[in-house]
């Protein structure tokens, strides 16, 4: 059976958190979400692309809606080679510059310096919990549902 992860990341890819904030956030999640195997925190050395794993299916242009998945994966290879130091891309169909995180993904995903990862959460994260975490971490958060 595959594992499901709920990854909580900041919507701001440059956002950082303190150890204290992380400990409090993990404690709140553990106290609130009782139906999980494991809550962990990962701090990355460089920006990481947090995708939805097997859930991932396609990427389209936010301006004209054209599917640009193949172009996207080439761009990702280049951006990855530069360790995501630059996240701006020029969409080929509309020739408009945007951030790669702003494209339309069929499943939510994002770029992050850190993540809080909840394994096999048997319930959904409540809006109330999300607001508490946003207040604590001082950022707006994105949820990425990952199946591996």
Interacting residues toward Zn ion by CB under 5 A: 61, 63-64, 66, 93-94
The smaller minimum CB distance to Zn ion, of residues 62 and 108, is found at 62
Of 87 and 94, which CB lies nearer to Zn ion in the complex structure? 94
For the chain, the maximum distance between any two Cα atoms, rounded to a whole number of angstroms, is 48
Q: Which of residues 7 and 61 has its CB atom nearest to Zn ion in the complex?
A: 61
Identify the H or E element spanning 88.
strand 88-91
Nearest distance from C-beta of residue 71 to Zn ion, angstroms: 10
Contact 120, 37 (CB under 8 A): yes
CB of 47 to Zn ion, least distance (A): 25
Residue at shortest CB range from Zn ion:
61
Provide, rounded to whole angstroms, the least separation between the CB of residue 99 and Zn ion. 15
Report the nearest approach of Zn ion to the CB of residue 132 (Å). Answer: 38
Q: Which residue is it, tokens 């809550």?
A: 39
Q: Which residue number, 9 or 89, has a Cβ lying nearer to Zn ion?
A: 89
Total number of residues shown for the chain = 148
CB of 79 to Zn ion, least distance (A): 19
- C-alpha dihedral over 120, 19, 135, 131, to 10 degrees? 0
Element of type H or E holding 105 = strand 104-105
Q: Which is nearer to Zn ion, 94 or 125 (CB)?
A: 94
CA gap 4, 67 in Å, rounded: 26
- Decide if 62 contacts 102 (C-beta within 8 A): yes
């Amino acid at each position: 059976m595959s594992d499901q992860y709920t990854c909580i990341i900041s919507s701001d890819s440059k956002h950082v958190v303190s150890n204290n904030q992380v400990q409090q956030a993990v404690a709140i999640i553990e106290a609130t979400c009782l139906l999980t195997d494991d809550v962990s925190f990962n701090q990355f050395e460089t920006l990481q692309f947090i995708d939805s794993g097997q859930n991932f299916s396609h990427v389209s242009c936010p301006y004209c809606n054209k599917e640009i998945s193949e172009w996207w994966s080439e761009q990702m290879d280049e951006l990855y080679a530069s360790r995501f130091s630059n996240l701006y891309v020029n969409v080929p169909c509309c020739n408009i510059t945007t951030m790669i995180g702003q494209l339309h993904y069929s499943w939510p995903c994002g770029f992050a310096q850190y993540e809080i990862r909840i394994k096999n959460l048997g319930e959904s994260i409540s809006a109330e919990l999300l607001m508490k975490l946003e207040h604590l971490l001082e950022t707006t958060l994105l949820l990425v549902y990952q199946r591996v």
